[in-house]
Structure 1
Amino acid sequence: MTLTHPAYEQLRQVTPSAAVVLADNPSGMTLQGTNTWLLRAPGATEYVVVDPGPEDRKHTEALVHETGGNIALTLITHKHHDHTGGIDHLVEATGTPVRAKDSEFLRGRGAHLTDGEVIEVAGLRITVLATAGHTEDSHSFLLDGPDGEQALLTGDTVLGSGTTVLESWDGALAAYLDSLDRLMAVAPGRTLLPAHGPDHADAEPVIRYYLAHRQERLNQVRAALEKLGPKAEAPHIVAEVYADVDKRLWPAAQSSVEAQLDYIRSRG
């Protein structure tokens, strides 16, 4: 029987070179859970892991079992604990080097990720793309495999369903819109492999939706400012714009609204 999303702690092959093990950590923020991607070209003996997932022994054991512990490299899309909590368990079990933007997550011979660099490993060509917005350290990866296989691993920059939350650092939304433009430029013909939610055979329409959604939210925030006054604070705008959203998600929405306010007010 062919597995479909969600399939917890089981290897689900998505493309010839990309399989996923879904961590059993569902929540309002992680959707069905965190996707850990296992990459290798057909016939290759070693794997690349993208995001070891949460600090959960069962999840780590599933990764070790499915890879046989033969992990040439682990890549981190961004700093959040549901992606990085399992790093040390995986390193302890396999000795994998770990690469990330943030020094906190480097292990072994792992070096900082560099925007635009190309990593040749496990029979694959992986191109690093800096895609800040969700977090300052967010990265995506272009996967080019044998026989013209193409995929795009987007971390939390683009999810398999719904939309992502932005941290409220200065310039977050401007950076995120630039990141979406970068991803749109490389999306045609690529399979979308997100860190949460289901994969998609075609990344382009999903990213196009994300761009349209951000413009829609900006317009809603502008409308709220006209109604509530130009000095309205984020919590009041959240209550106006996200009135139909579960209030338990409002704190996360507030972070995105703060990023949108910074974007609007920095442009006068």
Structure 2
Amino acid sequence: MGGRVTGAAGGLAEELPAWVTLLRAPNPGPMTLDGTNTWVLRAGPDAPAVVVDPGPADEGHLAAIAAQGPIGTVLITHGHADHTEGAPRLRELLGGNVPVLAADPAHTAGGPPLNADTTLDTGLDLRLLPTPGHTADSICLLVAHDGEQVVLTGDTILGRGTTVVAHPDGHLGAYLSSLELLTAYRGTRALPGHGPALADCGAAAGFYLDHRRARLDQVRAAVAAGATTAADVVAVVYADVDRSLWWAAEWSVRAQLEHLGVEQP
């Protein structure tokens, strides 16, 4: 949910690596943009694929994922339902023995939860990047193969607009640190959880950082002018956003006020 920012955070990727396939779930909406992106990564024609974010419990979408078999691993970037709801059913469709791995044990089946030291035998050079902030369990995935590299960003960076810091599970200080980490990946394509692929993960992270700092300045000004609640701040800072989305903006504002040390009723 991006307030005044509605375009892409930088240029769009012109094409995907040959070893990456995008399957987009049919769940478009204000918070999911065009729908949840399910990414399928495969080291070779006969290699077991890695599926990232199965998406919602939509039978057609899950059948399309299963048709990409063989599938060796299912990975979850964070625990929101639009990324995880379909995972149990997908596991059934895959015979019940394919591990579904996430940082949060609640979304993990068939293996240990993911952490920064996790290594996976996928045929791809795959590294986990803990990137808390949008949620406490958010991760990104740095994947290299055949001379190309991508970062799968979940909802930490979107293909269009900016993301919500989902207070109280999300934390703005952690999110800013995660964006700082991602600025290191200049020139690397970003494959987000929603929206189009971006040409430059590092540039998008820098754009997000600038946006967040500008928002913090706006929140400081609103508080100095007399706003006392998150709802008051939303009414000022997000005045140009559809009111039907103010509830989501309030999540981010609560995270901003916490970051600024402003006591909240």
- Structure 1 distance, partners of 2:226, 2:220, is 10
The amino acid that maps onto 1:164 is T
Contact 1:170 1:259 in 2 (8 A): no
The amino acid that maps onto 1:220 is Q
The amino acid that maps onto 1:257 is V
The amino acid that maps onto 1:150 is Q
The amino acid that maps onto 2:116 is D
Q: Which has the higher helix share?
A: 1
The alignment's TM-score, normalised by the length of structure 2, stands at: 0.89
Question: Helix, strand or coil for the counterpart of 1:32?
Answer: coil
Question: Helix, strand or coil for the counterpart of 1:120?
Answer: coil
1:160 corresponds in structure 2 to 159
With CA pairs under 8 Å and 6+ residues apart, which has the higher RCO, 1 or 2? 2
- Structure 2 distance, partners of 1:106, 1:171, is 20
Query: Are 2:44 and 1:42 equivalent residues in the alignment?
Result: yes
Question: Helix, strand or coil for the counterpart of 1:228?
Answer: coil
- Structure 1 distance, partners of 2:237, 2:62, is 39
Contact 1:16 1:41 in 2 (8 A): no
> How big is the shift at 1:204?
2.0
Structure 2 unaligned blocks of 5 or more = 1-14
Contact 1:36 1:52 in 2 (8 A): yes
Query: Are 2:250 and 1:263 equivalent residues in the alignment?
Result: no
- Across the aligned residues of Structure 1 and Structure 2, the Cα RMSD in angstroms comes to 1.6
- Structure 2 distance, partners of 1:257, 1:201, is 29
The amino acid that maps onto 1:236 is D
1:126 to 1:266, Cα distance in 2 relative to 1, 3 A: farther
2:113 corresponds in structure 1 to 112
Segments ≥4 residues shifted beyond 4 Å: none
1:220 corresponds in structure 2 to 218
> Number of residues paired by the alignment?
247
2:62 corresponds in structure 1 to 60
- Structure 1 distance, partners of 2:258, 2:85, is 31
Indicate the larger mover: 13-22 or 97-106.
13-22
Contact 2:132 2:170 in 1 (8 A): no
> How big is the shift at 1:207?
1.2
Structure 1 unaligned blocks of 5 or more = 1-12
Question: Helix, strand or coil for the counterpart of 2:198?
Answer: coil
> How big is the shift at 1:120?
3.4
The amino acid that maps onto 1:128 is L
Which of these residues, 212, 236, 240, is aligned with residue 236 of structure 2? 240
Contact 2:134 2:170 in 1 (8 A): no
Calculate percent identity across the aligned residue pairs.
Answer: 47
Which of these residues, 207, 216, 226, is aligned with residue 209 of structure 1? 207
1:171 to 1:195, Cα distance in 2 relative to 1, 3 A: closer
